[in-house]
């Protein structure tokens, strides 16, 4: 039997609030009911995954996937501080057992943007107690679910959460407060380190299909290729480099024991140092989320930052969200991650494409870039397409369509896309080559 620890993981990713439905005790639900979603929509039943998870996991398995990345919903597990829901834990255990039955190795994400309302009302990750509370939640999850899970992701896109909450104002509480951003970064790094140590220290006796796989803990870090609008512009080149260092590099450095530079000169003073992370590698892998590039334009203003950031040129093919298709940046970001000499998982990569016209090309071009990065020395262990299903795309509501399976929000019917069929064929081609990471390069002939 093939050593499962050496198999390349082909997966799809989801998050709790975006698909489960009925999550009415977190900060996003409160925000939705204040009319903050651009379309005026509320997540409500979402895709009804709460009731249809077995059907959805079967769809994933039928594609030939061998892994599934999902997140737990903290507000369901702990609707009030210190009050734990056995029903919620039992549901996630059933989900994990169904993954096991279908051969989908679970990658469990502890935090994917949402917070219990009781915690958000105290300041969320800007609150000094947040690392302690994150640690308590992690301990409960490890106790109840850890025997069946080898792959752990502590935080999803902590930089996106910080920017969206306290700088860019597109996530709750949607305020401009660099000081709160500074403290949120500090507390999230501290939360990550607590969770990393706790998982490795307190994981229960392993059971089931993946009991012999090594426990791996990492984060899912969003990376963007910052490019200049005007070639040769010295100031735009400088701005792009500053954004790259702040947005792309700070978390990679901090979780690998290097300098903690949570500072952008025009925005933030230095966040406090998390001493427990200094000189220590607190991840077993790097998870990279990549979607697009950002064009940096110097634009002097009397108020605010002297920069505009665009995600597509006029007339350029773009996603439902207006993001350009830029696979070269994917290869570039993976090579940067590879420099840390750790295993790398692509924890998210995909396109919002309601017509499914751009997605096949996007998928093939980005897999080509991924394989080239692997050929250049990046230790790639897995690829998770975002997303298995259409979902509630945060402030944009239900309009953007990321799913390999389209969802009819009237009757919750799932429809397989042509892109899903392509993904299935590519996975089958890789399996015929042996299925291990080293055989990825041969896939180029199939793309």
182, 122 in Cβ contact below 8 A? no
Give the H or E element holding residue 225: strand 216-228
Q: What is the pLDDT of residue 265?
A: 64
User: What's the rounded Cα separation, in Å, for the pair 408 and 415?
Assistant: 8
Question: How do residues 359-414 score in pLDDT, each as one tens digit?
Answer: 999 999 999 999 999 999 999 999 999 999 999 999 999 999 999 999 999 999 99
Region of poorest pLDDT, from 227-236, 308-317, 434-443: 434-443
Name the phi and psi angles at 431, rounded to 5: -65, -35
Q: What is the pLDDT of residue 444?
A: 82
Mean pLDDT of 192-197: 98
Mean pLDDT of 27-55: 98
Whether pTM exceeds 0.95: yes
- Judge whether residue 3 has pLDDT over 60: no
Looking at the chain, the whole-number percentage of residues with pLDDT higher than 90 is: 91
Q: What is the pLDDT of residue 148?
A: 98
Q: What is the pLDDT of residue 303?
A: 60
- Judge whether residue 14 has pLDDT over 90: yes
Q: What is the pLDDT of residue 67?
A: 98
Q: What is the pLDDT of residue 2?
A: 35
Which pLDDT band, with edges at 50, 70 and 90, does 302 fall under?
A: low
Which pLDDT band, with edges at 50, 70 and 90, does 283 fall under?
A: very high
Domain range enclosing 223: 4-445
Q: What residues contact residue 161 under an 8 Å CB cut-off, 6+ apart?
A: 113, 125, 155, 171, 184, 188
Under DSSP, is residue 106 helix (H, G, I), strand (E, B) or coil?
A: strand
Q: What CATH number has the domain bearing residue 367? A: 3.20.20.80
Q: What is the pLDDT of residue 4?
A: 37
Place of tokens 């752990």: 152
Of 98 and 302, the one with more pLDDT:
98
Region of poorest pLDDT, from 183-197, 259-273, 280-294: 259-273
The mean predicted confidence, pLDDT, of the chain is: 95
Over 335-358, what HEC string results?
HHHHCCCCCEEEEEECCCCCCCCC
Place of tokens 């790097």: 286
Q: Note if the bond before 173 is cis, omega within 30 degrees.
A: yes
User: What's the rounded Cα separation, in Å, for the pair 384 and 10?
Assistant: 6
Region of poorest pLDDT, from 154-163, 228-237, 330-339: 228-237
Which pLDDT band, with edges at 50, 70 and 90, does 300 fall under?
A: confident
Under DSSP, is residue 14 helix (H, G, I), strand (E, B) or coil?
A: coil
Region of poorest pLDDT, from 8-17, 75-84, 115-124, 432-441: 432-441
Looking at the chain, the whole-number percentage of residues with pLDDT higher than 70 is: 97
- Judge whether residue 50 has pLDDT over 90: yes
Structural tokens at position 87: 């029903």
Give the H or E element holding residue 155: strand 151-156
User: What's the rounded Cα separation, in Å, for the pair 400 and 392?
Assistant: 8
Which pLDDT band, with edges at 50, 70 and 90, does 436 fall under?
A: confident
The number of domains in the chain is 1
Q: What is the pLDDT of residue 306?
A: 80
Chain centre distance of CA 280: 23
User: What's the rounded Cα separation, in Å, for the pair 175 and 164?
Assistant: 9
User: What's the rounded Cα separation, in Å, for the pair 191 and 198?
Assistant: 10
- Judge whether residue 76 has pLDDT over 80: yes
User: What's the rounded Cα separation, in Å, for the pair 31 and 56?
Assistant: 28
Place of tokens 């954004």: 243
- Judge whether residue 320 has pLDDT over 90: yes
Which pLDDT band, with edges at 50, 70 and 90, does 1 fall under?
A: very low
Q: What residues contact residue 347 under an 8 Å CB cut-off, 6+ apart?
A: 13, 69, 107, 153, 156, 220, 287, 288, 289, 384
Q: What is the pLDDT of residue 176?
A: 93
- Judge whether residue 270 has pLDDT over 90: no
User: What's the rounded Cα separation, in Å, for the pair 323 and 348?
Assistant: 15
Nearest to 152 by CA among 117, 195, 193: 195
Of 188 and 265, the one with more pLDDT:
188
Which pLDDT band, with edges at 50, 70 and 90, does 441 fall under?
A: confident
- Judge whether residue 107 has pLDDT over 90: yes
- Judge whether residue 144 has pLDDT over 60: yes
């Amino acid at each position: 039997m093939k050593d499962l620890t050496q198999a390349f993981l082909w997966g799809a990713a989801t998050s709790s609030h975006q698909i489960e439905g009925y999550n009415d005790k977190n900060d996003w639900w409160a925000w939705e009911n204040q009319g903050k979603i651009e379309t005026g929509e509320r997540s409500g039943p979402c895709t009804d995954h709460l009731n249809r998870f077995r059907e959805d996991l079967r769809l994933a398995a039928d594609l030939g996937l061998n892994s599934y990345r999902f997140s737990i919903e903290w507000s369901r597990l702990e609707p009030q501080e210190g009050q734990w829901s056995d029903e919620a834990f039992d549901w996630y255990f059933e989900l994990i057992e169904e993954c096991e039955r279908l051969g989908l190795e679970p990658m469990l994400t502890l935090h994917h943007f949402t917070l219990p309302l009781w915690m958000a009302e105290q300041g969320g990750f800007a609150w000094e107690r947040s690392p302690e509370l994150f640690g308590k939640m992690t301990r409960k999850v490890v106790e109840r679910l850890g025997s069946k899970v080898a792959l752990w992701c502590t935080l999803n896109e902590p930089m996106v959460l910080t920017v969206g909450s306290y700088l860019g104002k597109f996530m709750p509480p949607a305020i401009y407060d660099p000081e709160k951003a500074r403290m949120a970064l500090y507390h999230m790094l501290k939360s990550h380190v607590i969770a990393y140590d706790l998982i490795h220290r307190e994981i229960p006796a392993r059971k089931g299909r993946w009991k012999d796989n090594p426990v791996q803990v990492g984060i899912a870090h969003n990376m963007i290729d910052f490019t200049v609008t005007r070639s040769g512009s010295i100031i735009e080149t400088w701005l792009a480099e500053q954004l790259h260092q702040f947005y792309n590099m700070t978390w990679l450095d901090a979780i690998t024991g290097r300098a903690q530079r949570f500072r952008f000169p025009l925005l933030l003073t230095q966040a406090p140092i998390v001493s427990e992370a200094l000189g220590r590698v607190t991840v077993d892998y790097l998870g990279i989320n990549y979607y697009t590039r950002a064009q940096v334009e110097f634009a002097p203003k009397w108020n605010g930052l002297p920069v505009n950031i665009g995600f597509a040129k006029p007339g350029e093919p773009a996603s439902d969200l207006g993001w350009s298709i830029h696979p070269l940046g994917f290869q570039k970001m993976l090579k940067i991650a590879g420099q840390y000499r750790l295993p790398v998982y692509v924890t998210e990569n995909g396109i919002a494409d309601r017509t499914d016209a751009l997605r096949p090309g996007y998928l093939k071009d980005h897999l080509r870039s991924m394989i080239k990065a692997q050929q250049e020395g990046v230790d790639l262990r897995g690829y998770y397409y975002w997303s298995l299903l259409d979902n509630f795309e945060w402030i944009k509501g239900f309009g953007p369509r990321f799913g390999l399976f389209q969802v009819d929000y009237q009757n919750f019917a799932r429809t397989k896309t042509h892109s899903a069929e392509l993904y299935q064929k590519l996975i089958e081609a890789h399996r015929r080559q042996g299925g291990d990471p080293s055989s990825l390069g041969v896939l180029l002939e199939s793309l």
